[in-house]
Amino acid sequence: MRPGDGDVASVVDELTRRGFSEDFRVVDGRLQAVATGERFRPEDLMIREFYRFEGISDPDDMAIVYGIETTSGARGTVVDAFGVYSDPVLSAVLRDVPMPESVSAPRSEAVRRR
């Protein structure tokens, strides 16, 4: 299975299997690794992959799964809704996180619609 072939949970599971094992959350305007408590500024992060799910009949299915890598080598995921349901604090943090051209250029391939 490739990420994007299933639902949000299966994508998170696949990314975890591939080494994105840390869970991130926003604390005081930075992403924090849940397991270690380490906090990262946007410039210490890189979005390596993302998968967007569009809930055609259920807005609860509208989500984006981000595969993130830190400059210290930690890799993990964070999930956000998108549109009116997105977390504005998480969106503000991720807006400043760089994404390599290999991820951002072929967005049509990286975006998975469900």
pLDDT in tens, 20-30: 999 999 999 99
Q: What is the pLDDT of residues 75-84, one digit of tens each?
A: 999 999 877 8
SS3 41: coil
Q: What is the pLDDT of residues 44-69, one digit of tens each?
A: 999 999 998 876 656 566 899 999 99
Q: What is the DSSP secondary-structure string of 14-27? A: HHHHTT--EEEEEE
Please say if the pLDDT value at position 113 is more than 80. no
What is the model's pLDDT at position 111? 39
What is the model's pLDDT at position 1? 45
- The pTM of this model reads 0.81
What is the model's pLDDT at position 106? 30
So where are the chain's domains? 8-110
